[in-house]
Structure 1
């Protein structure tokens, strides 16, 4: 039974001791309300081995790196000094590594495709990026291009991406270079020369989440560790963490460079038939926006008895539903499920785990200990 995975494989540990924990920080969390406001001052500098500041962007006119929110990222005009405060966390923990992440979903792909195709544009991007991270004391750069060849890109992006990474690494010297990559098989096949990029970067951050969501008309897990028993008959056998991890390794990514992503947020639907409340239940997008961060979901469970929490024996992730609140059905992670994922990463000999994003954890400890999900991950990696 896959739900007993953690206990069944302890005898065959490949073993990493104290794997890395990459924690993305979403800088726009300073604008959150209702208990979700999060600043660099809320970061525990001992919680993660690597902190990644999301995001900087790309100037479509000059193809240099672009500051996306100066009032948050910089100190000028009474700004919040995000960059400086972020890297200053190393004064408290000298072992901490801080990286600036460039890109993200909202940045799109088209301009990155244009930049990567032209030697002069690449040079402008590399030079400006290196200067920026050196200016603010970052230990490296994380490139989150979503995705080469996709969303306005071209087939040449697959090789141009490797060329861009080679030039970035040359410019960075001893500083770190990491990338965030897709876990979806169609994108993996189209977008990545895996041996080529793996030879250049220090770590590959696998975004192994958002396998399922409201673009589908049925309920499922956001980040299933393994396939559901009924996935194959629905053609969904590739949409799980285990497949993505093994596929990246099979295609040429050294496991010791692969960092497995874990979401600290849920995916939710509204049930169409309240008599069907399990996986593959007919569902639609909720009629109003919902904060799916773990800090919010756990508080909802504490404040209302209407939530039914289910741990399906065929899966490793919990879900909850509430028939008195828009018939909501939410797949999420809890301390037990993230431990299972961290144990998988450790036992597969991976570099460690990555989370998106640390500000979505229960950082104030309203439901238990502060940062319960990330702490559970780091504890499991260290076993």
Structure 2
């Protein structure tokens, strides 16, 4: 029987070794062809705000986000206070303006001043938040009511367009069997309040069939959620004792038990079947990072070969067994021919083997443009609403690979809608939140435009103009800060008067 299985694998798996010139060099011709670009598809992009603390070239702040590459930007994450049962900022110093904070929420939402078509959402939860306190909150109607009210106020106060409910996962990780019922009730109560306030309600959901069946009341999701982001990744990783792909399109000949469900094709088709005519609300999650292992024996490097140790940690993501695409690009640059990419034709997926301490024992699965092409073809063939990525700060935003900045995001957007709406904007400054804006006009502008970008209209004023060069003239857009704020000329953004020299209120 074992010999038969090995023969099946030999027939089913085509491994193509690729020259180390580029991460994506030499992939076989694709079996799919794209149809006409689809209008209105979504590209939902999560941003992991802790990336601001990464060292060196891995540091990624709000101003590194290209607001034209996504239709929806999701800020990860807010948290649940399990003493008050209210939503709260996870990192107040980074997220808020209070006490000299960095104002990430404000700056994140100000990206809509650059791209007015952009939708911004705050996510609550995530893997590290766990499940238990969400289970405790959702189990008691009074706690749910407190949470719902706090969410509406929080989203409105900080200027987001909606909330992403990222409870991972109801009925699991310390939750209760009744979580499925309570999560449905919570979503329905959130929907009533959010609809009244004109806000979006979305959720990130599991790719696992078993978790889907245990955690989600599908009818409740249909009734309440504007977008359902299917996390079609993390099927395999360092928690396994064998090598397998993070996000394979198809299954493997040796997959058995629950592993037969652990591929993108099964996950998305299962969700489409469950959602029925409402499947256009689904987005397919795409990882912009890799997961990997240290091979027990470097000579045994095929799917299901032994790997009892996690792969290396990247210099920026700093988590064993995880590398951003940007980190893979750096390893490729540094190792040259020791870095070899391979194509698994049955899985329609990529992996790479490279050295650690002179031994080629690092095995990492990942998606590049060629692997993403297979997934974009699957999206094209299905009645779903678009794609989702986790997460923007692990794309090659420094152009280390030589494919341009953000090559994966650019490719995904082109594949979804046939074009990139605009070149990378000049983001030396980010426009502040505006309570009122007026249409742009083209004028000589010398009297109001001292420089490109934001120009205050006077000292200690909350009014400003945004000046964009247009030959010998300027394109000028007028705007104003929210009430009580003024333009701080040092940071060219809205700020409290007490923070701006000469604008402090006199004390009597």
Same fold (TM over 0.5): yes
C-alpha spacing 1:296/1:199, structure 2 compared with 1 (3 Å):
same
> What pairs up with 1:71-110 in 2 under 5 angstroms?
71-110=93-132
Match of 1:247 in 2: 270
Partner deviation per Cα, 1:52-97 (whole Å, 9 max, x = no partner): 0000010010100021101110112222111000001001111000
Q: Which runs of 5+ in 1 are unaligned?
A: none
CA distance in 1, matches of 2:105, 2:252: 42
Partner deviation per Cα, 1:174-213 (whole Å, 9 max, x = no partner): 2110001000111111111112212211010001100001
Partner deviation per Cα, 1:11-63 (whole Å, 9 max, x = no partner): 8x698434100000000000111411000010111010000000001001010
**Corresponding residue SS for 2:112:** helix
Match of 2:344 in 1: 312
Whether the aligned pair in 2 keeps the contact of 1:195 and 1:251 (CA below 8 Å) is no
Partner deviation per Cα, 1:278-335 (whole Å, 9 max, x = no partner): 2222112237533400011012112212111111222222111124356111001111
**Corresponding residue SS for 2:344:** coil
Please report how far the alpha carbon of residue 7 of structure 1 lies from its aligned counterpart in structure 2 after TM superposition. Answer: 4.8
C-alpha spacing 1:139/1:330, structure 2 compared with 1 (3 Å):
same
Match of 2:324 in 1: 293
**Corresponding residue SS for 1:229:** coil
| Displacement over 6 Å in runs of 4+ | 1-6
Please report how far the alpha carbon of residue 129 of structure 1 lies from its aligned counterpart in structure 2 after TM superposition. Answer: 0.9
Please report how far the alpha carbon of residue 156 of structure 1 lies from its aligned counterpart in structure 2 after TM superposition. Answer: 1.4
Stretch deviating more after TM superposition (2-11 or 48-57): 2-11
Match of 1:179 in 2: 203
- Structure 1 length normalisation: TM-score? 0.94
Match of 2:220 in 1: 196
Please report how far the alpha carbon of residue 167 of structure 1 lies from its aligned counterpart in structure 2 after TM superposition. Answer: 1.0
Match of 1:335 in 2: 369
Match of 1:346 in 2: 380
**Corresponding residue SS for 1:318:** strand
In the alignment, which of 39, 58, 83 is matched to residue 80 of structure 2? 58
Stretch deviating more after TM superposition (216-225 or 318-327): 318-327
Whether the aligned pair in 2 keeps the contact of 1:322 and 1:328 (CA below 8 Å) is yes
Please report how far the alpha carbon of residue 229 of structure 1 lies from its aligned counterpart in structure 2 after TM superposition. Answer: 2.6
> What pairs up with 1:228-307 in 2 under 5 angstroms?
228-232=252-256, 236-252=259-275, 254-286=278-310, 288-290=312-314, 291=317, 292-305=323-336, 306-307=338-339
Whether the aligned pair in 2 keeps the contact of 1:15 and 1:347 (CA below 8 Å) is no
**Corresponding residue SS for 2:302:** coil
Stretch deviating more after TM superposition (125-134 or 48-57): 125-134
Higher normalized strand content (fraction of residues): 2
Whether the aligned pair in 2 keeps the contact of 1:19 and 1:346 (CA below 8 Å) is no
CA distance in 1, matches of 2:191, 2:115: 26
**Corresponding residue SS for 1:311:** strand
Whether the aligned pair in 2 keeps the contact of 1:321 and 1:330 (CA below 8 Å) is yes
Match of 2:52 in 1: 30
C-alpha spacing 1:353/1:2, structure 2 compared with 1 (3 Å):
farther
Stretch deviating more after TM superposition (82-91 or 185-194): 185-194
C-alpha spacing 1:92/1:235, structure 2 compared with 1 (3 Å):
closer
Please report how far the alpha carbon of residue 382 of structure 1 lies from its aligned counterpart in structure 2 after TM superposition. Answer: 1.6
Q: Which runs of 5+ in 2 are unaligned?
A: 1-11, 15-26, 318-322, 419-508
Whether the aligned pair in 2 keeps the contact of 1:16 and 1:349 (CA below 8 Å) is no
CA distance in 1, matches of 2:13, 2:267: 17
Match of 1:153 in 2: 175
Partner deviation per Cα, 1:139-188 (whole Å, 9 max, x = no partner): 10000000101111112111211111111111112211000100011111
Match of 2:441 in 1: none
CA distance in 1, matches of 2:388, 2:375: 11
Whether the aligned pair in 2 keeps the contact of 1:16 and 1:347 (CA below 8 Å) is no
CA distance in 2, matches of 1:147, 1:315: 27
Match of 2:407 in 1: 372
In the alignment, which of 351, 362, 378 is matched to residue 396 of structure 2? 362
Stretch deviating more after TM superposition (333-342 or 130-139): 333-342
* Backbone CA RMSD of aligned residues: 2.1
Please report how far the alpha carbon of residue 225 of structure 1 lies from its aligned counterpart in structure 2 after TM superposition. Answer: 0.9
The structure showing larger relative contact order (alpha-carbon pairs under 8 Å, at least 6 residues apart) is 1
Higher normalized helix content (fraction of residues): 1
**Corresponding residue SS for 1:327:** strand
C-alpha spacing 1:343/1:325, structure 2 compared with 1 (3 Å):
same
Please report how far the alpha carbon of residue 115 of structure 1 lies from its aligned counterpart in structure 2 after TM superposition. Answer: 1.0
- Structure 2 length normalisation: TM-score? 0.72
Stretch deviating more after TM superposition (237-246 or 272-281): 272-281
**Corresponding residue SS for 2:135:** helix
